[in-house]
Chain A
Amino acid sequence: MNAISGTAQGGAAVNSAERRHDEVLLSVQDLHVWFELRRFGFGHAGYVRAVDGVTFDLHYSETIAIVGESGCGKSSLMKTILALHRPTKGDILFENRNLNALKGPELREYRSQVGYVQQDPYGALAPFMTVQRILEEPMIINGIKDKAEREARLRNAMEEVKMSPVDDFLQKFPHMLSGGQQQRVVIARAMLLEPKLIVADEPVSMLDASVRVEILKLLRALQDKHNLAVIYITHDLSTVRYFSERVFVMYAGQAVEKSLINDLIRNPLHPYTMALLAATSDPDADNATRFRDVPPGEPPSLVKPPKGCRFHPRCPHMIKDLCDAEEPPHFEPEPQHLVACWLYR
C-alpha cells in the first residue's frame, strides 16, 4: 500500500520475532472498567461504565488502532492496560501473566515492558527537568545504576528518534523545544527500557499538521526495527491507514466494529463508523458547498447507557423493539470483519 507498511515485510526481520508473530502478547478478555460514583463522598450513586466488555488479542510486533471520540472509554482502556486502573471485571493477560495478580516488583517489571506515548508532549514532560534528566529517570527507577550505561542508552534513544546532534538537546528544558521535538523526547523515553509494547494515546493530535506525518513515520520505523507491538489510540481515521492494519471502533465503552483498516474504509458496517467516515474531510474545495451528515445528539452518559444498542438513539437505521431492547452481539458479515449491529443479523 505504501512505503511505511512496505518496510514491515522487507528488511532485517529478526527471526525470533518472526517466529513469535503468531503468539499473543496481550490478551484483553471481557474487560470492564467501572468507576464508582459517590454522593457526598460516601453512599453509592451508580457507576461510570467507562469500558464495558471489551475483548481483543494483540500479537507480538502487531499494531492495532483504537478509534473513538472523547468519552468513549478509550483512555480508560489504555490506562487499564498500563496497569494504572484495576479492571472491575475481566482479565488482561500479558505474556500469559494476569495483570490482576501482579504486585510490587512484578508490576514495576511489567510497566518497564510497556512504553507510553502521551497525547500532550508538553504536559508529559516535567518542566523543571532537562532532557537528560527526563530520559534518565525511568532507568534510575528501574535500577540501572551504572551512570555510563544510562548515558549510552539515552544517547542511543535520542539518535533513534533523530534528535541529533544529541549534545545540542541534552541540557535543554522542554519549553525550549518545538512540539515535534518534545514528542520525540516522549517517544525516546517510552523506548528506553526496550519495551515489547507501546501504547500511543493520540500521539500526533496536539502537533502541527506538517509534523504529524513525520512523527507517525518515526513511530512506524521504530516499530519495524524493534518488532514492537503498538496500540495506537486516535479519533482521526485518516492517520490510521498509514500506521496500522487492524482497527477497532469504540462507542460508549464498547467495541462496535473490528476489522482491517482497508476493509473498514471500503465497507464500513456499523452506522457509527459510517458517520465517522462521512465526517472526515480530505482537502477538497467542494467541501465548502455541502453540509456533512452528522448523526443528531451526543454520545450517551456512561452512567446510564441506553438499553440495547448504545448508538440506537442517534442511529438512522434503528429497528424498533430490537435495537432499543437487546444488546447486539458481534456478527461477521465478511471474513475478519466483526460488527455489533442488528442490521447484520
Chain B
Amino acid sequence: MPETTLLHIEDLQLFFRAGKGVVRAVDGVNFDLNANQAVVVLGESGCGKTSLAKAILRLLPRNVDTYDGKIYLHDQNVMELSDEEYRRQVRWLKMSMVPQAAMNALNPVLKVGDQVAEPAMIHNAMDKEMALGQARKMFQHVGVPLDFLNRYAFELSGGMRQRVAIAMSLVTAPDLIVLDEPTSALDVLTQANIFNVLKRIKSELGMSFILITHDIATSSELADSVAVMYAGQIVETSDAHRFFHEPLHPYSGKLMDSVPRLRGTQEPDFIVGQPPSLINPPTGCRFRDRCPHAFGRCAEEPPTIRQDGRTVKCWLHVA
C-alpha cells in the first residue's frame, strides 16, 4: 500500500509569555504522519505535549508570544490561513481533537446525542435531522447503544462518556483526530475497551491519530510510530516496532525502563531528577543533567541524526 503523508510539521514553535519570562513549550518540533496511521507523542508532564496538540489545532491562549513554523496538511500549509479561514476550513472538518478529560467536559444540560450532532450542524452545514443521523452512525462506530442519544452525561459511565467524546470528534468526518490522554482517568477494562474502539475506527474509517500520552504501555495499543518529546523538543522519532524493541535516545530508554511490567522479570527503574524549566532551558542537550551517558560534547546543541527512517537528537549517535 503506498503511504501518503497526511501531516508534515516543520520547525513548529509555540512560546507563551509568563510572569518570569517566555515559556518555550514547543520549541522547533518536526514530525510526519502518514494517512491511516497513528503517531504517539510520549513525554512526561510539562514537556509540552499538550501545547503541541494545541499548536497543531491552533487552539491558542491569549498569552502567546511566538507561534511559528509550517504545518502541511495534504500539502497545504495551514499556517498561512487566517484564524477565520482556519476555523472554517480546518478545525473539525480536517482535524478534530478529544481534549484531556473530555468526558468530564460534556454539557450537563444537553442530551449527548444533540451534543454529538452539533459540530456537524455548524461545520458540515447539516440540518438537525441529518446531523442526528450522522451522530447515530458514529455512536454505532464507537459502540454506544443508540438509546443513549437521548440521555444526559450524568447518566453515563466514564467509559461511555469517553466514547461519546470520541464520537463527537468523528462526526464531522475529519482526516485526523488528536487524542490528549484519552484513557488516563479510566479503569483497566475500560481502557482496553476504548483502545479496541480506536483500533476499529482506524481500520473501518481509515482514520489517522495523534495520541498524546505519558503511558507507554497503553500507547503501544495504537502506535504505528512514536515521537518522544522532552523539554519542548522531539528527541526521537521511530516506527513503533523498532522503538519498543530498541529505543535510540537515552531518554527513551530510561522511559521504557520506568514501566512496571506485568509479564517478565525486569525491575523498573526511575529517572533521577526533574525535567528542566522551559523558561531559559539549558543550552546544548536538555537531557544531559539526567543522562547516564552525558559527555563533554553534550554541552553543544545536538543535531538530529537520521538513521534508517528514524531520527534521534543525540551526540551518541553521531557517526
Contacts and interface: CB of A to CB of B under 8 A. Distances in A.
Partners in one complex: yes
Interface of A: 1-4, 69-70, 178-179, 208-214, 216-217, 235-239, 241-242, 265, 275-285, 287-288, 291-292, 294-295, 298
Contact of B214 (A208, A217, A291): A208
Contact of A213 (B187, B263, B269): B269
Nearest to B38: A288
A153 B259 CA distance: 34
Interface stretch (B172-180, B220-228, B281-289, B296-304): B220-228
A159 B200 CA distance: 50
A327 to B, nearest CB: 22
B181 to A, nearest CB: 11
Contacts of A235: 187-188
Given A213-B269, A217-B270, A292-B196, A298 B259 contact: no
B258 A238 contact: no
A179 B275 CA distance: 13
Given A2-B267, A281-B218, A285-B244, A208 B44 contact: yes
B184 to A, nearest CB: 9
Interface of B: 38, 44-46, 157-159, 187-193, 195-196, 199-200, 214-224, 240-241, 243-245, 254-256, 258-265, 267-271, 274
B260 A283 contact: no
A285 B221 CA distance: 7
Given A208-B44, A294-B189, A282 B258 contact: no
Contact of A284 (B157, B188, B220): B220
Nearest to B272: A214
A282 B221 CA distance: 9
A216 B218 CA distance: 20
A236 B218 CA distance: 12
13 contacts: A178-B46, A209-B258, A210-B214, A213-B270, A235-B188, A236-B188, A279-B191, A280-B217, A283-B259, A285-B241, A288-B38, A292-B221, A294-B192
Contacts of A236: 188, 260
A4 B266 CA distance: 12
B206 to A, nearest CB: 15
Nearest to B46: A178
Interface centre among A208, A210, A298 (most CB of B within 10 A): A210
B157 A298 contact: yes
B255 A288 contact: no
B214 A277 contact: no
Contacts of B45: 179, 208
A217 B268 CA distance: 10
Contacts of A292: 192, 195-196, 221
B255 A265 contact: no
A285 B256 CA distance: 13
Contacts of B38: 288
B238 to A, nearest CB: 10
Contacts of B223: 285, 288
A292 to B, nearest CB: 4
Contact of B259 (A3, A4, A278, A282): A282
Interface centre among A235, A277, A278, A295 (most CB of B within 10 A): A235
A4 B54 CA distance: 40
A281 B217 contact: yes
B268 A242 contact: yes
Nearest to B219: A283
Given A238-B262, A282-B217, A284-B244, 10 more contacts: A2-B267, A69-B188, A208-B214, A209-B44, A209-B259, A237-B188, A237-B262, A239-B260, A285-B244, A294-B193
A287 B221 contact: yes
Contacts of B256: 283
B258 A69 contact: no
Contacts of A178: 46, 274
A279 B191 CA distance: 8
Contacts of B254: 210
A71 to B, nearest CB: 8
